[in-house]
Amino acid sequence: MLKTHLKRAESPVHGIRPSRAHPRHDNSFTFTGPHKYSFVYKTIAFLHYQLHKPIRNISRRLTTATVTMTESNGTQEPVFLVFGKTGWIGGLLQELLKEQEAKYHVADARLEDRAAIIADLEKYKPTHVLSAAGVTGRPNVDWCETHKVETIRANVIGCLNLADVCAQRGLHMTYYGTGCIFHYDEDFPVNSGKGFKESDKPNFTGSYYSYTKAMVESLLREYPNVLTLRVRMPIVPDMTYPRNFITKIIKYDKVINIPNSMTVLPELLPMSIEMAKRGLTGVMNFTNPGAISHNEILELYKQYVDPEFTWANFSVEEQAKVIVAPRSNNLLDTARIQGEFPELLPIRESLIKYVFEPAAQQKEEVCKAVREMRGR
């Protein structure tokens, strides 16, 4: 079972506030505090404007006409450089590349440090860059609501730093972003089967985390060397790992019950490596086909692992009383990824194959670990 770690430093934040309550209610910013003329604030004003530009560069395949893929190390063998070495997905990528016996290195640079990024690229001479770096917050995205400058620095400025340096050197970059930038609405009703496409403009900025992610996705579209993968509610077999979506809902007594697109990482992460090798660029909805609800997942857990497991539901309005920022719920269209990988399983089938059937083989251990986690 894959083991991963995620370490994030927390520090005070000040100096930026929306002109009213929150950017989800207003699209303008007022800068305050001692750093109001700093690079961060001048940059974020420009980036915010860019978010509202018309969407372009939806889907491309990288060719030698745009970015040269002749390896700078003098061979034709792909060489991967992973950013985000202490993060969850970054750790999974390292394990996966090791299992594949691929040639890879782990970057030391922080994304805010452009000179350090350049030094890593010159040192390791990669042909492909995989970026899973950024902040999501601990214990959850509510952290970003009170650490806005850190969130901007990592999720926007840092990400653009890396993309820009890679573009200047003709390197393909895969960016593990998020699909939590959409929300069901009148045009995309829940249970309608109509999913948000790669070309659709984000309609959810309810959390500051999602706000910065939508902004950087819009800007990355301008880079012909970048593939942006929209990850959603990622899932792994380890049902006690805190970042695992199943872990999150298993440990609560009450959950909402809304169908969502989700990413089963054991199936999809290997495909992301292949996407990089194929030189795919643009935006990709990086989820299994279809949607599955919280209750359906917990029913599978009950069926395969613990027949005595119980839970209750509550409404989105009730949930709002116990969280700081609203959460995204959506269905993403998977036509593009299915065109590349027709073998990709629908979400329910993928969960059974990669998560619940393996868990059933260790039923007693999993039950014990989950019950301890829930304090029962």
CATH number at residue 169: 3.40.50.720
pTM for this one? 0.81
Residue 200 falls inside a structural domain: yes
Residue 11 falls inside a structural domain: no
Report residue 4: phi and psi, to 5°: -140, 165
What are the strands of the beta sheet with 172-178, ordered from one edge?
59-61, 280-285, 226-231, 172-178, 128-131, 79-83, 103-106
Task: Output the pLDDT for position 224.
Answer: 97
CA 118 to CA 336: how far, in whole Å? 33
Among the listed residues 361, 134, 140, 350, the one whose alpha carbon sits nearest the alpha carbon of residue 247? 140
How far is residue 363 CA from its own chain's centroid? 29
Q: Is residue 75 part of a domain?
A: yes
Token code pair at residue 4: 């991963």
CA-atom Rg of the chain in angstroms: 20
Residue ranges making up the domain that contains 205: 16-236+262-291+329-346
- Could you tell me if residue 125 is inside a domain? yes
Q: Which residue has the tokens 């930026």?
A: 16
- Let me know how many helices (H) and strands (E) the chain has, helices first: 15, 11
At 44 the pLDDT is 53
Tokens of 316: 């989105």
DSSP class per residue in 17-42 = EESSS-TTT-S-EEE-STTTTSHHHH
Query: What b/e readout covers 196-205, taking b as 16+ CB neighbours within 10 angstroms?
Result: bebebebbbb
Instruction: For residue 364, count CB atoms less than 10 angstroms from its CB and return exposed for 0-12, middle for 13-18, buried for 19 or more.
Output: exposed
Residue 300 lies in a domain: no
Residue 98: predicted pLDDT: 98
- Please, which residues have CB within 8 angstroms of residue 230's CB and are 6 or more apart in sequence? 177, 178, 179, 181, 198, 217, 283, 284, 285, 286, 287, 332
The whole-angstrom separation of Cα 89 and Cα 258 is 25
CA–CA dist 41, 49 (Å, integer):
13
The count of domains in the chain is 1
The verdict on residue 360 lying in a domain is no
Assess contact for 210 and 262: CB atoms under 8 A: no
Q: In this structure, is residue 41 part of a structural domain?
A: yes
Q: What is the pLDDT of residues 177-213, one digit of tens each?
A: 999 999 999 999 999 999 999 999 999 877 888 889 9
What is the Cα 326 distance to its own chain's centre? Answer: 17
Does residue 301 sit within a domain?
no
> pLDDT 10s digit of each residue in the chain, 376 long?
444 433 333 333 333 333 334 443 343 333 344 443 344 545 555 555 544 454 444 445 554 333 444 445 555 799 999 999 988 999 999 999 999 999 999 999 999 999 999 999 999 999 999 999 877 767 677 788 888 898 899 889 999 999 999 999 999 999 999 999 999 999 999 999 999 999 999 998 778 888 899 999 999 999 999 999 999 999 999 998 888 999 999 988 889 999 999 999 999 999 999 999 999 999 999 999 999 999 999 999 999 999 999 999 988 777 767 766 667 899 999 999 999 999 999 999 999 999 999 999 999 999 999 998 888 6
